[in-house]
A and B are shown apart, each in its own frame.
Chain A
């Protein structure tokens, strides 16, 4: 079993399949960092993203790229609804964090049941066929899905990094994440930024669901289970650390799949929860790397700060 080809295959497939988990984890971590919400309603956004793409490709017979765009539109639309009619209202009413958390749970189940009523419970995929041809690269089976999935994930991550680092809205997002009230004092429209963060997360998870739904079957309740992985990665990656969550998602995927070399495969799922259990008990704030000298929070400059010189 400890054959080089086997180990290489497990590592490659784990790496490729961690692509969508990375996106789910990054979106969850982004909302947690900026909006300060454990957004379990992300499962509902994921479901809408998937079924919008499904409608486009399977029901309207649109080409794949149009289904992809429709999927993003579906996820973004649901994110907007959740933020505008849910989170914003709860903020206005000064709802407690626990109440907001319960709202996210209820919203995710509500969406799952609504989708179930519309599309039924038969598991389905975005394309009629879920079989991807394979090319052997040095003895490793690389499917036609693997490379585009990894490329899409890397593109999203680089895009998000660039957005947060270089765009004005991205910097505002980090400012709100650091201290929302202070950011507001500097003239940043907090509610607009919180909406932007939700919409961005909607885009990211919709891309993730498109990748997932082109490889595996999805039913209305599937997103809730996929979310658990994102939550685990966010906790392990350090709460509020987007890139930590992304790395944790890859590591978790690889460790979970590689574990078959040492333990029976039936225990793979258990391993995820074992990780979570010990991570929460031993590292309640997640694993934290030593802070760099030039962290983003120190370099964020709000618009008024630029003019009055009080930015640092």
Chain B
């Protein structure tokens, strides 16, 4: 009986080894997925982020790929819509058999998390900032600091460094807006300030007079606006038209040149956050932006987000390279183990990231302000 068992286990082990070796021998490329909005209202950002990731994959492959094997990126559209995102991710996992995929937009990140967890495939959220992302399960990680990082930084900076005592919060009535507004209110209050107005506006609103007048009546020293790129300039324009001249803070979504073109002098004293170093901080970022201007004819929409997307393939390639060296099959489970074993990654455009126990990362926050018609560096918080 013992002999028979020994024979069986030897044969089984040999078969398993043969299959495993076969699988490794067939591993001629390493695939990962990228599910982003290529169409729909958010495609402006999505397409630029995909382009950044494509450039990164090309460069990784030019430098030898994953130990001589090609890194392949499967790109599918989410329209920033959770339902479309679910379809895309299901396809990536069941048809393309990816071990890891990158996605963004909080609604999509959350909607596809159960699929990642059930299939033991790693989901890397790169750009979404809803605080809930840290609690979406074992296989969901973010390389992008969540809202509580930049919103907390700007709230603390407003209260402690700028010395503002009374703030108003104006936010879009959606998941990201509500989550970020809550973080701002709690942080500002904890820092010794008082939130004197806390107003939401409807996602389809075309006029903001009402909430702005409520804010004006509360007489704040600073306003935090948590909106989308589509309506934020109009909100700021209307605020200035109604005689509200106090500084307006917001997040990285409004950090673009177009805001200044659209608002002119009304953009003065608008403060935005950036979660990645700018051209003034890193020569690599400068080269990257120069490449955009040369190849595409303009700076990327949402520069910091594209920097994170550019860095995502580098992180994935590092994990695959390590797995390949060790001869471990690149399953989602193995990818996760190896990523956590490496833990810290030096990335070209966003610097070093270290995964925390709660699946998030912590990064310094760069504050920029419109001064004399230009975005100028104001401070770096949390260095």
Contact = CB atoms under 8 A, between A and B. Distances in A.
A129 to B, nearest CB: 5
A226 B206 contact: yes
Contacts of B234: 130, 215-217
B207 interface: yes
Nearest to B240: A131
B213 A269 contact: no
Contact of A131 (B201, B229, B263): B263
Contacts of B230: 123, 217, 219
A116 B237 CA distance: 26
Contacts of B240: 131
Contact of B207 (A13, A121, A226, A266): A13
B10 interface: no
Interface string A278-309: 00000000000000000000000000000000
B263 A257 contact: no
Given A6-B213, A120-B44, A143-B241, A129 B39 contact: no
A47 interface: no
B341 interface: no
B266 to A, nearest CB: 5
Contact of B217 (A1, A130, A216, A269): A1
A55 B187 CA distance: 45
Contacts of A1: 213-214, 217
Given A17-B206, A131-B264, A219 B41 contact: yes
A88 interface: no
A185 interface: no
Contacts of A270: 202
B173 interface: yes
A10 B217 contact: no
B202 A3 contact: no
Interface string B54-94: 00000000000000000000000000000000000000000
Given A14-B209, A226-B206, A269-B203, A130 B237 contact: yes
A116 B200 contact: no
B243 interface: yes
A225 B262 contact: no
Interface string A201-240: 0000000000010011101010001101000000000000
A259 B204 CA distance: 16
B262 A130 contact: yes
Contacts of B207: 13-14, 17, 257
Contact of A10 (B210, B229, B262): B210
Nearest to A127: B262
Interface string B205-221: 11101110110010000
A232 to B, nearest CB: 12
B233 interface: yes
Contacts, number: 117
Contact of B43 (A120, A143, A259): A120
B362 to A, nearest CB: 31
B261 interface: yes
B210 A268 contact: yes
Interface string B300-311: 010000000000
A23 to B, nearest CB: 14
B202 A266 contact: yes
Given A14-B209, A268-B202, A121 B43 contact: yes
Nearest to B263: A131
A134 interface: yes
Contacts of B42: 121
A226 B205 CA distance: 10
A217 B211 CA distance: 19
A59 interface: no
Contacts of B206: 17, 212, 216, 226
A85 interface: no
Nearest to B177: A266
Nearest to B218: A1
B242 interface: yes
A132 interface: yes
B204 to A, nearest CB: 5
B264 A225 contact: no
A266 B200 contact: yes
A116 B40 CA distance: 8
B199 interface: yes
Contact of B210 (A212, A216, A260): A260
A141 B243 contact: yes
A121 B264 contact: no
A269 B205 contact: yes
Interface in A160-215: 212, 215
B209 A3 contact: no
A155 interface: no
B231 interface: yes
Nearest to A132: B241
A122 B241 contact: no
Given A122-B301, A129-B263, 8 more contacts: A13-B207, A17-B206, A121-B40, A121-B43, A228-B204, A265-B202, A268-B201, A270-B202
20 contacts: A3-B217, A6-B217, A10-B210, A13-B207, A120-B43, A120-B47, A121-B39, A130-B237, A131-B265, A134-B243, A217-B230, A219-B41, A219-B230, A258-B210, A259-B210, A260-B214, A265-B199, A266-B201, A268-B210, A269-B205
